């Protein structure tokens, strides 16, 4: 079935049923490449959220007691269905988000990997025991789910980010309420539909579309025990503080400003290809995007010239077209914000060496900004400090690696950082001294796979346990200790 053709006003998914929102408020969901209307998303009420929470609480009573291998088997079937629908899901991502089909295809893979990790629940849920802590006395740790979990997700990865959350939470025995981004809500419905087809009992996964009211409901409703959030820094901080104040467990993944340091001994072919992909892939709308290149020593001139040349040759357009590398940004308002940042960069005195406002696509339909590059950027500039989240790359020039690391560490954010070099000694210094949670060497987007934690810090993360991997299992479970004499 196609959500696109059959559903003009999206519905919420509560208790295994498609339910119209009780609110009359809604927002248009356009295709960012064309401006064409895809659907309307309901801006649901607190009442809708509370209803979903009650249903999820009820479903938890039986789901938590469903044997773990039985839960895992549903995840295996879900994985199979996602594989079978790979192309369809990727097309949906491109249509509602704008990223190229190749990027969307890769995103589906990342989502599927999360389901594969979650299907390991029988191993992941194991506790541990010591049979003789004293004569005739044993002690053991047993792992249990925590209850109803709420997930709030951003627009930039409509499949991967929700899949960081609900498959693992559900495999661990929790029930889940997802509040997808109101800017990319369509794919979430398809994910829920396929999970139901895989045999997931009603009420275990619920979707409530909307914005602030639903988020605040998730943060306040006392039947929701934990909150996973991914989105921008101010909202992450708000979600973290409010959820914690309401006694909930919370992990909030936030914004970023990732630096790539290029040393004089780097292989320039590798550096240029990877930086172009990291800076302009997904229109720069990635929390692991490369936003700043730190060019070290005398490599700078050649590196800059090659980046500009590649940018000139980049194919910009609708992500469904063959060979398109750079799609639109998510909304007209985001395009305006990006153009504003380009103007700010010029006013601040950075050298605009490639101006994406002048590309033909930028004046047509859709929300396009071409690849934009500023040289001679400094740390007192807003274009260096702020997350622009668009195809705008800043270049900073320094003399040596120590200076490059010190500069990078001045950022308020600490999500990812990359180093391009041939020197093991430089890699060691980078790993030891850099302030970032996800490091790459001779690669542009070092996003960890589903079995490792997604581990930003500073203003890129609020909480203790990260998403994915062991951290994810710890976050979605609680422990009981039994000490016994028989
Ligand atoms: P956003 O913060 O605008 O929205 C995220 C979610 O929060 C959405 O579901 C939205 O409805 C909700 N929301 C927005 N404003 C709110 C408010 N005032 N009160 C309550 N809820 C609110 O983020 P976005 O623009 O959708 O996504 C882009 C951001 O997400 C970037 O900053 C990016 O770096 C970040 N991100 C981070 C990671 C990570 O792993 N650290 C991954 C992906 C995206």
Q: Could you tell me if 200 and 317 lie in one domain?
A: no
In a domain, 96, yes or no: yes
Distance CA 229, CA 460 (A): 12
**C-alpha 232 to ligand 1 mean position (Å):** 4
Long-range contacts of 100-106 (CB under 8 A, 24+ apart): 100/281, 100/282, 100/319, 100/324, 100/325, 100/326, 100/327, 101/319, 101/320, 103/281, 103/282, 103/319, 104/319
CB of residue 428 inside a 6 A radius of ligand 1: no
The pLDDT, as a whole number, for residue 360 is 87
φ/ψ (deg, to 5) at 396: -115, 140
Q: Could you tell me if 234 and 287 lie in one domain?
A: no
In a domain, 1, yes or no: no
Instruction: For residue range 474-486, list pLDDT tens digits in order.
Output: 999 999 999 999 9
Q: What is the mean predicted confidence (pLDDT) over 432-454?
A: 97
The pLDDT, as a whole number, for residue 3 is 46
Active site residue 290: no
CB of residue 151 inside a 6 A radius of ligand 1: no
Q: Could you tell me if 424 and 466 lie in one domain?
A: no
Q: Could you tell me if 195 and 161 lie in one domain?
A: yes
Model confidence at 459: pLDDT above 50:
yes
According to the annotation, is 387 in a ligand binding site? yes
In a domain, 249, yes or no: yes
According to the annotation, is 179 in a ligand binding site? yes
Model confidence at 7: pLDDT above 60:
no
Q: Could you tell me if 207 and 325 lie in one domain?
A: no
The pLDDT, as a whole number, for residue 58 is 98
CB of residue 387 inside a 6 A radius of ligand 1: yes
Q: Given the residues 114, 287, 290, 418, select the one marked as catalytic.
A: 287
Q: Could you tell me if 219 and 306 lie in one domain?
A: no
Q: What is the mean predicted confidence (pLDDT) over 422-429?
A: 98
First to last CA, the chain: 58
Hey, what are 68's tokens?
């773990």
According to the annotation, is 116 in a ligand binding site? no
In a domain, 149, yes or no: yes
Distance CA 438, CA 270 (A): 19
Reported ipTM: the value is: 0.99
pLDDT interval class at 397 (50, 70, 90):
very high
Q: Could you tell me if 361 and 407 lie in one domain?
A: yes
**C-alpha 235 to ligand 1 mean position (Å):** 7
- Domain of 142, in residue numbers: 8-253+451-485
Q: Could you tell me if 14 and 78 lie in one domain?
A: yes
Total domain count, the chain: 2
Quick one: what percent of the chain has pLDDT higher than 70?
A: 99
CATH classification of the domain holding 285: 3.40.309.10
pLDDT interval class at 65 (50, 70, 90):
very high
Q: Could you tell me if 397 and 334 lie in one domain?
A: yes
**C-alpha 460 to ligand 1 mean position (Å):** 12
What does pLDDT average to over the chain? 97
Provide the pairing of β-strand 148-152 with 224-230: parallel
Q: Could you tell me if 230 and 294 lie in one domain?
A: no
Q: Could you tell me if 434 and 329 lie in one domain?
A: yes
Q: Could you tell me if 136 and 51 lie in one domain?
A: yes
In a domain, 2, yes or no: no
């Amino acid at each position: 079935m196609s959500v696109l053709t059959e559903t003009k006003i999206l519905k919420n998914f509560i208790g295994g049923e498609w339910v119209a929102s009780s609110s009359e408020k809604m927002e248009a969901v356009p295709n960012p490449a064309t401006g064409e209307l895809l659907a309307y998303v309901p801006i649901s009420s607190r009442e809708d959220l509370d209803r979903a929470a009650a249903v999820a609480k009820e479903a938890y009573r039986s789901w938590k007691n469903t044997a773990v291998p039985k839960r895992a088997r549903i995840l295996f079937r879900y994985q199979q269905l996602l594989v079978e629908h790979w192309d369809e899901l990727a097309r949906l991502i491109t249509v509602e988000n704008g990223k190229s089909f190749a990027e969307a295809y890769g995103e589906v893979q990342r989502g599927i990997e999360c389901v594969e990790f979650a299907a390991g629940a029988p191993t992941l849920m194991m506790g541990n025991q010591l049979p003789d802590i004293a004569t005739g006395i044993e002690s053991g740790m047993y792992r249990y789910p925590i209850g109803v979990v709420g997930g709030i997700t951003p627009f930039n990865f409509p499949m991967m980010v929700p899949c960081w959350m609900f498959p693992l939470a559900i495999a661990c025995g929790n029930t889940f309420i997802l509040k997808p981004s109101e800017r990319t809500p369509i794919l979430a419905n398809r994910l829920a539909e396929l999970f139901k087809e895989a045999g997931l009992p009603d009420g275990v996964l619920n979707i409530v579309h909307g914005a602030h009211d639903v988020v605040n409901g998730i943060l306040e409703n006392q039947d929701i025990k934990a909150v996973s959030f991914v989105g921008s820094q101010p909202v992450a901080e708000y979600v973290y503080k409010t959820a914690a104040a309401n006694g909930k467990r919370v992990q909030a993944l936030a914004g970023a400003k990732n630096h790539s340091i290029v040393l004089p001994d780097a292989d320039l072919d590798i550096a240029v290809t990877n930086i172009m992909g990291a800076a302009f892939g997904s229109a720069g709308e990635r929390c692991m995007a490369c936003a700043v290149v730190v060019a070290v020593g005398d490599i700078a001139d050649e590196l800059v010239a090659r980046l500009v040349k590649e940018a000139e040759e980049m194919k910009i357009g609708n992500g469904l077209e063959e060979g398109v590398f750079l799609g639109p940004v998510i909304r007209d308002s985001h395009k305006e914000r990006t153009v504003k940042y380009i103007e700010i960069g010029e006013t601040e005195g950075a050298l605009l060496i490639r101006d994406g406002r002048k590309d033909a696509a930028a004046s047509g339909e859709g929300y396009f900004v071409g690849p934009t590059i500023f040289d001679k950027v400094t740390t007192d500039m807003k274009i260096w400090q702020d997350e622009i989240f668009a195809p705008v790359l800043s270049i900073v020039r320094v003399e040596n690696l120590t200076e490059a690391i010190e500069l990078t560490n001045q950022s308020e954010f600490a999500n990812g950082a990359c180093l391009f070099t041939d020197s093991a000694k430089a890699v060691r210094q980078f790993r030891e001294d850099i302030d970032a949670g996800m490091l790459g060497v001779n690669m542009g987007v070092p996003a960890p796979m589903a079995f490792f934690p997604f581990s930003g810090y500073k203003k890129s993360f609020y909480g203790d346990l990260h998403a994915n991997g062991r951290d994810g299992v710890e976050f979605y479970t609680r422990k009981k200790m039994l000490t016994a004499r028989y």
